[in-house]
Amino acid sequence: MFSWTTFWESFIPLLWAARFTVLVSGLGIVLGLGIGALICAGALSPWKPMRIFAALWVSFLRGVPLLVQLLLVYFLLPVIGINVPALVAAVGTVAICASAYISEIWRGAINALPRGQTEAAKAIGMAPLSQWTRIILPQAITMSLPALINELILLVKASSLVSVVGILEITRASQAQAATTFRPLEVYLAAACIYLAINLCLAGVGRWLEHRMAV
Amino acid sequence: MVRASSVEIRKVNKFYGPFHALKDIDMSIAPGKVTCLIGPSGSGKSTLLRCVNFLEEYNSGEVLIDGELIGYETAGGKKMSSRRLREMRRTIGMVFQQFNLWPHMTALQNVAEGLIRVRGMAKSEAEARAADALEKVGLGDRMSNHPSRLSGGQQQRVAIARAIAMEPRLMLFDEPTSALDPELVGEVLSVMKALAAEGMTMVVVTHEMGFAAHVADKVAFMEQGELVAMDEPANILHHPEDPRIQSFLRTYHERNSF
Ligand SMILES: Nc1ncnc2c1ncn2[C@@H]1O[C@H](COP(=O)(O)OP(=O)(O)OP(=O)(O)O)[C@@H](O)[C@H]1O
Ligand SMILES: [Mg+2]
């Protein structure tokens, strides 16, 4: 028999654990957007060493699973004498991993802009900085929104991986809860509901933003 | 009347890798004159036009706007500073085949943007001027529309307003009506005619032979990167001597008759 009591009661520890899920994926995306912008600038830079660095950054971080990256960071940092709290290591790794995908999303959006957009700006004598802030970025950011929301949703789900460095986020908390209640079905169903609720909210916010920014 | 620039093109050459796109072009355009560039596809019309505001970098020769070299510090020397190039471009308006309006801005914002960012005007003053420019092209009632809500002819008129709001002394047009449905061509051409009547120097790449015949002071015919002839419209369009022009016009008339 399905135990509604266990199902409802599971929400208390799981929602408490959800703060780590939200923190890791939220901070991960915010920092990832910043680092991703820098990497994207590197990829588009006229300076070849920068382009090579950006290309290596993207290939490595996209080519190695986040789980492996987390374990590498977790075991590597103490070896080289750096002791940071697990949460900091987790957020940092998630952000750096996300930056690779985000920089590609932005690079794609910027390259998709027709050349005539900047030519029209150059033809009236607009300076490069204004071309970027007024013409290129506003359009590229709007265009990249759906892909960025998608990336954020992937991050929320991927944040369950940070449990390997000992952070008690939703998935890890539900494992613990399932073990103590002997009711895995109820507990995991509650976990699924929480993930779904978070991601539906994100998708809603994304829709709203897209709608607001559409011309 | 506007203060109009002269354009002097001397021995200009342009290469795309091994491909010789412009071959020793010489052309002289007096202030206030309208010059139409015609010729078959791929003959180098757009390339030449884009060398005039240095959107395309020519490899040798000189392009002088009001006697001032554009793109290079000295003929055959190093490139001019990007700041100086921007200053020169402020006085040269350009209108593109695909309009190239900024889709995230309204018509008014499209026109005001350059006045604010390039001319450094306050927003209110820029918008007042932008509104004047839009009135002038007959779009006073469409100022708050985004480009996607305008017809092709209206979009191209916004693009012209965007250029003239900067108070250029020279206007470059690259097939301004080629992307338009036939019934919308007239409204754009009449704006261009009005501009010509004000004494603007204009260089117009076009397939509109009627415009070339009635509005242009000179018509230049290009083929395979060469300037074949440049003369009064009648001498090029009605009784050309060069067989290459004759065959081009024959093809043109065949395509336009039914
Ligand atoms: N970026 C480029 N790289 C290589 N070749 C180019 C480039 N731009 C133009 N060309 C070549 O230079 C030649 C002249 O091109 P241009 O666009 O000036 O022709 P056009 O006379 O304007 O033709 P159309 O009537 O089709 O617009 C063409 O053969 C074209 O293929
Ligand atoms: Mg062309």
Average pLDDT score over residue span B10-17: 97
Query: Does the structure show a pLDDT above 70 at B6?
Result: yes
Percent of chain A with pLDDT over 70: 100
Residue with the larger pLDDT of the pair B80 and A83:
B80
pLDDT the model gives residue A120: 98
Determine the structural domain holding residue B42 and report its residue range.
30-46+93-256
Domain A21-167 coded CATH 1.20.120.80: no
B94 and A120 within 8 Å at the Cβ level: the answer is yes
- Tell me the pLDDT band of A51, cut-offs 50, 70 and 90: very high
What does the domain layout of chain A look like in residue ranges? Answer: 21-167
Q: Which two tokens stand for residue B47?
A: 């390339």
Å between A205 CA and nearest CA of chain B: 21
This prediction's pTM: 0.90
pLDDT tens for B143-182 read: 999 999 999 999 999 999 999 999 999 999 999 999 999 9
- Tell me the pLDDT band of B254, cut-offs 50, 70 and 90: confident
Instruction: Name the nearest CA neighbour of B50 among A177, A144, A122, A204.
Output: A122
Interface residue A130 vs chain B (CB under 8 A): yes
Residue with the larger pLDDT of the pair A8 and B255:
A8
Percent of chain A with pLDDT over 90: 85
Query: Does the structure show a pLDDT above 80 at B257?
Result: no
Q: What is the rounded distance in angstroms from the CA atom of residue A161 to the CA atom of residue A169?
A: 9
Q: What is the CATH number of the domain that holds B228?
A: 3.40.50.300
pLDDT the model gives residue A213: 80
The answer, yes or no, to whether any atom of ligand 1 lies below 6 A from the CB of B109, is no
Average pLDDT score over residue span B224-236: 95
Q: What is the rounded distance in angstroms from the CA atom of residue B102 to the CA atom of residue B95?
A: 13
pLDDT tens for A112-143 read: 999 999 999 999 999 999 999 999 999 999 99
Total tally of structural domains belonging to chain B: 1
Average pLDDT score over residue span A51-68: 95
The C-alpha angle B55, B56, B59, rounded to 5 degrees, equals 140
> Which candidate from A122, A123, A135 shows the least CB-CB separation from B102?
A135
The answer, yes or no, to whether any atom of ligand 1 lies below 6 A from the CB of B42, is yes
B171 phi and psi angles, rounded to 5 deg: -125, 135
- Asked if B80 contacts B72 with a C-beta cutoff of 8 angstroms, the reply is yes
Query: Does the structure show a pLDDT above 80 at B2?
Result: no
pLDDT the model gives residue A215: 59
- Tell me the pLDDT band of B258, cut-offs 50, 70 and 90: low
Percent of chain B with pLDDT over 90: 94
Q: Kindly give the residue spans of alpha helices, DSSP state H, lying in B95-176.
A: 107-117, 123-136, 152-164
| Residue B100 domain flag | yes
The answer, yes or no, to whether any atom of ligand 1 lies below 6 A from the CB of B45, is yes
| Residue B2 domain flag | no
pLDDT the model gives residue B253: 84
Q: What is the rounded distance in angstroms from the CA atom of residue A167 to the CA atom of residue B124?
A: 55
| Residue B21 domain flag | no
Give one word for A105, left, alpha or beta, with left for phi > 0 and alpha for psi -120 to 50: alpha
Distance B222 CA to ligand 1 centre (A): 12
User: Which residue in the block uniquely carries the two structure tokens 């408490």?
Assistant: A16
Amino acid, single-letter form, for residue B133 = A
Residues whose beta carbons lie less than 5 angstroms from ion ligand 2: B 46
pLDDT tens for A159-170 read: 999 998 889 999
What mean pLDDT is reported for chain B? 95
- Asked if B238 contacts B244 with a C-beta cutoff of 8 angstroms, the reply is no
What mean pLDDT is reported for chain A? 93
pLDDT tens for A89-103 read: 999 999 999 999 999
Query: Does the structure show a pLDDT above 70 at B220?
Result: yes
pLDDT the model gives residue A57: 96
- Asked if B111 contacts B133 with a C-beta cutoff of 8 angstroms, the reply is yes
Residues of A whose CB is below 8 A from B150: none
Q: Which chain A residue has its CA at the smallest distance from B149's CA?
A: A215
Q: Whose C-alpha lies nearest to ligand 1, atom 19? A: B42
- Tell me the pLDDT band of A82, cut-offs 50, 70 and 90: confident
Instruction: Name the nearest CA neighbour of A120 among B82, B160, B192.
Output: B160
> Which candidate from A114, A125, A138 shows the least CB-CB separation from B104?
A138
- Tell me the pLDDT band of A77, cut-offs 50, 70 and 90: confident
pLDDT tens for B26-76 read: 999 999 999 999 999 999 999 999 999 999 999 999 999 999 999 999 998
Interface residue A129 vs chain B (CB under 8 A): no
Average pLDDT score over residue span B185-197: 95
Instruction: For CA atoms A159, A161, A163, A165, give the dihedral sign.
Output: negative
A122 and B104 within 8 Å at the Cβ level: the answer is no
Average pLDDT score over residue span B130-155: 96
pLDDT the model gives residue B207: 93
Half-sphere exposure (Cβ direction) of B256: Cα atoms closer than 13 Å: 11
- Tell me the pLDDT band of A1, cut-offs 50, 70 and 90: confident
Å between A128 CA and nearest CA of chain B: 10
Three-class SS of residue A92? helix
pLDDT tens for B88-123 read: 999 999 999 999 999 999 999 999 999 999 999 999
The answer, yes or no, to whether any atom of ligand 1 lies below 6 A from the CB of B57, is no
pLDDT tens for A186-207 read: 999 999 999 999 999 999 999 9
Query: Does the structure show a pLDDT above 70 at B249?
Result: yes
Q: Which two tokens stand for residue A123?
A: 């033809």
Choosing among A124, A132, A144, A213, which should be mutated to test the B contact, i.e. which has the most B CBs within 10 A?
A124
